[in-house]
Chain A
Amino acid sequence: MEFLQYSFITNALMAGVLTALSAALLGNFMIVARQAVMSDMLAHAAVAGVGLGVFWNINPIAGAFLTSVAATLLLWWLSQKKQAAPEAISVVILNGSLALALLLIHIDSRSGFSLESYLFGSILTITQSELYLFICLNIFIIGLLLFFWKNILTLVFDQDFLHSKNTYKSFFEILLMLLIAAIVGIGLKVIGGLLIGAMLIIPPLIVQSYCSSFKQNVIMSALINILAVLCGIISSFYFDIPASSSIVLTLILLFGLAKIPMIRTQ
């Protein structure tokens, strides 16, 4: 357990475990709401925010939150106006954001800023102040999800029914999207914009055939996600490999192991 004496490792473990927990919680709701692609869209919007942060000389993570919230509201508004299917709008925003990020960083090339750590994450370089920010945001995400659990569950499974109870449907729609934007902002540093989707979507799919209730599925996928993050950070320390890559590969391995018996019995 020698790795525990390093503060960069303990920071990574704390941020990683908390993010794994809230990502698994949110991921379950996202899959049911058919918003699995949305995490990718928001992650790219967040990358544009990083570029904007560099350009305006503000904290890149703050820039990321700003643009992913803006992208969330834009997507919601355009889907309400029924201009195109949400997933098609997502692709437009996704590519536009990435192009904008490239442009902004090119203009500001003198700073020598590298996008890579936000595309692929760098969990081992999380600073003390970032750690505090991530702890607060994760508690905020988990708290809101637990508080509005029943309403968000009804929203994602059965919108019509939520609507018929005269509950504010749009409020919960926007809330869910904002929570996804928040987890994506955290995810940029923890696992990277290109890989955050894995932490959200894969764990619920791994346990899905073995659970019989939503609550069970959430708890099991959270445990799987935490396991993958621990494996990732520890293997990164001992074998000097990128943590993001080993987190995602651990998840993929578990996904394969969980699905093989299911496919064989079909």
Chain B
Amino acid sequence: MSAIEVKNISYNKHKKTILENINFSLNIGDYVGLIGPNGAGKTTLIKIILGLLPPSKGSIEKATGLTIGYVPQSYTLSPIIPISVREVLKMSGNRNLSEHKTALQQVDLEHSILKQNFHHLSAGQQQRIIIARALCIHPQALIFDEPLSGIDFSTKIKLYDLLATLNQQHQLTILFVSHEVDRIIDKCHHILCLNKTLHQGCHPLDFSQGKITCTSEHQHQEKEANRVLPIHHHH
């Protein structure tokens, strides 16, 4: 069953095309990666899916009652004034302490962290808390916009594992947005390659290395064939 369906989305700003004719659907329980270089329109697409930005053309269809959790790319909360982890979780609108504890458990953090100053935690812990905050609204789908920097490699791997666990154990539909293929390729069921338009029929690794320039003719041929590209590991 499809959770989110993106239909013919185009978006223009200042007469420039940011997104052109985007089509795909996310099924319940999917773990999909969305990759593309800087300026490919990833954040714009997320905003359109979340309903924060009206598309120039096309529509978004969501399953009735679907709640989407959102982990923004820049969550670097201003560090000058302290804020406790509990206060960060309360931003979700959910004030229930036991649910906060459950959310922390899901992201593999101790309850004792609730009283600590968010700014004094490591980047990896902070990111887990931001995911916990998204989980506090009991989402069926999660959109995760990967931060550009500040997270080391081993922390990244742990995070990918965490999201995969959430996906498997809680049937959480995940759209993982990243500027590089990196390691998400091992975890995701599918990868979408975005650069203004969805480049289907090319391999994500080639796409991320800039080897592929798909034409729009490819697009139309592929459009009917495949909702998202399954990954074939090639050697």
Chain A residues in the interface with B (C-beta under 8 A):
28, 31-34, 150, 153-154, 156-158, 160-166, 204-205, 208, 211-217
Contacts and interface: CB of A to CB of B under 8 A. Distances in A.
A156 B91 CA distance: 11
A208 B86 CA distance: 18
Task: Place the interface of chain B in its size category.
Answer: 20 to 34
A150 B91 contact: yes
Given A161-B72, A216-B82, A150 B116 contact: no
A212 B121 CA distance: 12
A164 B116 CA distance: 26
B78 interface: yes
Contacts of B72: 158, 160-161, 164
B106 interface: no
B91 A158 contact: yes
B80 A208 contact: yes
B81 A204 contact: yes
- Give the most central of A34, A163, A166, A212: most B CB within 10 Å: A212
A158 B70 contact: no
B187 interface: no
A160 B116 contact: no
Given A32-B81, A164-B52, A216-B84, 17 more contacts: A28-B81, A34-B78, A154-B91, A157-B91, A158-B75, A160-B70, A161-B70, A161-B75, A161-B91, A164-B72, A166-B52, A205-B80, A208-B81, A213-B83, A213-B86, A215-B84, A217-B82
B65 interface: no
B82 A157 contact: no
Contact of A214 (B52, B84, B116): B84
Contacts of B210: none
- Give the most central of B86, B91, B115, B137: most A CB within 10 Å: B91
25 contacts: A28-B81, A31-B80, A31-B81, A32-B78, A34-B78, A150-B91, A153-B87, A153-B91, A157-B77, A158-B91, A160-B72, A160-B74, A160-B75, A161-B91, A166-B52, A205-B80, A211-B82, A212-B82, A212-B117, A213-B83, A213-B84, A213-B87, A213-B115, A214-B83, A215-B87
Contacts of A157: 77-78, 83, 88, 91
Contacts of A208: 80-82
B50 interface: yes
- Give the most central of B52, B81, B82: most A CB within 10 Å: B81
Which secondary structure characterizes the binding site on chain B?
Answer: loop
A204 B84 CA distance: 15
Interface string B130-147: 000100010000000000
- Give the most central of A31, A32, A150, A158: most B CB within 10 Å: A158
A266 B54 CA distance: 48
Given A161-B70, A213-B115, A213-B117, A150 B82 contact: no
A34 B76 CA distance: 14
B150 interface: no
Interface in B84-126: 84, 86-88, 90-91, 93, 115-117, 120
A202 B117 CA distance: 20
B111 to A, nearest CB: 15
B81 A214 contact: yes
Contacts of B116: 212
Contacts of A164: 50, 52, 70, 72
A120 to B, nearest CB: 28
A32 B82 CA distance: 10
